[in-house]
Amino acid sequence: AVLILCQYQIMPMFENTKIVANAASPSPSALPRRRRKQVVSLLLPPITAGQSLNDSSSGFLLCTAGRLRYAAIASVALALLLLARSGKKNEKSHDEMMETLTGSSRPFQYIGDLDPSEPQPWPEEEEDWHALHETLVKRVEESDASSSNQVKDHLPQLVFYGDSITEGWNGTSFGNLPGQHRMWTTGEDESIRDVFANAFGDKSDWGERALKPPLVLGISGSRTYDFIWRVVNGEFPVSSLLNKEGAIDNNRDDDVFPIEQLERIYILLMGTNNLGGGMLPEPTLKGMDAAGRTILQLHEKHFPNTPAAMLFSELLPRKDDFRAIKMCPPRCKNVDTLEPFQSFMPAIKKVNRALPNLLDGLREDFKNSRIILLSANNVTSEIGASKQNGNTMHSYTPVINCGHEMFAFDDIDELDVYMPDRLHPNAKGYKLWSHCLQKGLDVIMSR
């Protein structure tokens, strides 16, 4: 194209034209440095006075060289423009890809009018949900029937409660390998199970010393009301793990938390699916409070006068914004104009801000307990003893700020490394999160 322009368009325009000195035009040396640089780099190569532009030995080559220089500059500019547009396009296509793949997951179901604290199972036609519940009940029964590991320096049995993120420790969704919408790579499920085994299971120090192997009791899509129903209908272990020699000493100091008598630690993550179903933050909090209370009440019922411990997790960040948009209608930011919510994050932050006060209420009502809040805040936590209202029973750090270990990333690309669908962790994400959980366990077991 450059050759054609020079041969048939540019050259004829300057036929028999010669370059002469122009006193009105400043020389490059007289120009400011920045402008002089532009002149030298962008215009045609230097042409001496008296040189003809249509001279076959100089003009054509000069024209071609100049045009090539312009072409190179234009190519670089075009490449930069395309690269910038590509970044925006890739960001959009990531959301579109997630939305397309989510077609293989369950459709939106509005639950905003349900009581989040009233136990209620899923409809009977949800056969996979009921089948998995029965499977989990059998696992609890098998755990109760097994003998406990009576070692000198024993550790409590871990019981993980929750939704799809908790079930994900098994590498499953509704008991099966998750669909494409989870965006896991091949073999991701095995990698996650291996992470769990190394952190809490049979490959870990905790697993070797635990009174019994851990229980993972999560079902994808669970909300607070169906979780409560699950727990009161068989998903709660009721066997005592310590023998008579390990029984509670009735003469012990009531101001000292009896770590050595702690049989189980309950780890709870629940509530994001309430928001995902169109429920507002206030009723979601009501359901989360009821979920925690249900566990602690069952503990008091089956193990009276024995200590209880709980890791209560904040809602993890989620950036699957297309699901928030799809809730409208009926759940809209502005019902009159049908303006949808653009993100779940404002609701999640509102819920998480209220959790410290919520857990204070649980501690007040269940005094023989240690309850730790796992937070995504980036403020460094001082792990260890700290008095709470002068009561040494609660002399422990009540909040663990995990920051990045609970996926508190400002950079969406960094979040995608650990949560490819921006809702569920992958193997890297579960490994990161396990560090936060281990910090909470360390606080519970601190003396």
**pLDDT means over runs of 10, the chain (447 residues):** 49 47 47 45 45 51 60 67 56 56 65 97 96 98 95 94 98 95 95 98 96 98 98 97 59 71 97 97 98 98 95 97 93 93 96 98 96 88 43 69 95 95 97 98 92
pLDDT at 150 (0 to 100): 84
Cα 407 → chain centroid: 5
**Does residue 214 have a cis bond before it (omega within 30 degrees)?**
no
Give the C-alpha separation, 191 to 314, whole Å: 25
Give the C-alpha separation, 79 to 12, whole Å: 32
pLDDT at 376 (0 to 100): 94
Give the C-alpha separation, 67 to 59, whole Å: 12
**Is 317 within 8 Å of 402 (Cβ atoms)?**
no
Give the C-alpha separation, 26 to 22, whole Å: 8
pLDDT at 337 (0 to 100): 94
pLDDT at 241 (0 to 100): 94
- Two structure tokens written together for 334: 């502005």
Contacts of 335 (CB under 8 A, 6+ apart): 329
pLDDT at 97 (0 to 100): 57
- Two structure tokens written together for 182: 């989870």
pLDDT tens per residue across span 123-170: 999 999 999 999 999 999 999 999 999 888 899 999 999 999 999 999
Give the C-alpha separation, 268 to 158, whole Å: 11
- Please state the three-class secondary structure of the chain as a single string: CHHHHHHHHHHHHCCCCECCCCCCCCCHHHCCHHHHHHHHHHCCCCCCCCCECCCCCCHHHHHHHHHHHHHHHHHHHHHHHHHHHHHHHHHHHHHHHHHHHHHHCCCCCCCCCCCCCCCCCCCCCCHHHHHHHHHHHHHHHHHHHCCCCCCCCCECEEEEEECHHHHHHHCCECCECCCHHHCCCCCHHHHHHHHHHHHCCCCCHHHHHECCCCEEEECCCCCHHHHHHHHHCCCCCCCCCCCHHHCCCCCCCCCCCCHHHCCEEEEEECCHHHHHCCCCHHHHHHHHHHHHHHHHHHHHHHCCCCCEEEEEECCCCCCCHHHHHHCCCCCCCECCCCECCCCCHHHHHHHHHHHHHHHHHHHHHCCCEEEEEEECCCCCCCCCCCCECCEHHHCCCCEEECHHHHCCCCCHHHHHHHCCCCCCCCHHHHHHHHHHHHHHHHHHCCC
Sheet holding 157-162, edge to edge: 215-218, 157-162, 264-269, 308-313, 369-375, 399-401
AA letter at 184? W
- Two structure tokens written together for 369: 């307990």
pLDDT at 434 (0 to 100): 98
